[in-house]
Amino acid sequence: MEKKVLEAMKKAGKPVRPGDVAKMIGAESKEVSAAIQKLKKAGKIISPKRCYYSPSGD
């Protein structure tokens, strides 16, 4: 799930909300939010503004 979320964020090319990512990959918002938290802890994504996320560029 984390890989799908990260790929969708890269494809979007701009900071996105978890709900937008869920629609893009056809998943539940809860699943996407959980994946985002894991990715954030791992340092793979950043939150440029509240409730928006984007790849950290590593």
Residue located via tokens 């994946």: 35
Domain annotation covers residue 26: yes
- pLDDT-derived band of residue 57, with 50, 70 and 90 as boundaries? confident
State the helix-helix crossing angle for 2-12 and 18-25, rounded to 10 degrees.
100
Q: What is the pLDDT of residue 19?
A: 96
- Mean local confidence (pLDDT), 13-19: 96
- With a cut of 80, say whether residue 50 has pLDDT above it: yes
The answer for 43, left when phi > 0, alpha when psi is -120 to 50, beta otherwise, is: left
- With a cut of 80, say whether residue 58 has pLDDT above it: no
Q: Where are the beta strands (DSSP E) in 1-58?
A: 45-49, 52-55
The number of folded domains in the chain is: 1
Give the CATH number for residue 43: 1.10.10
Give the range of the structural domain holding residue 24, as residue numbers without chain letter: 2-53
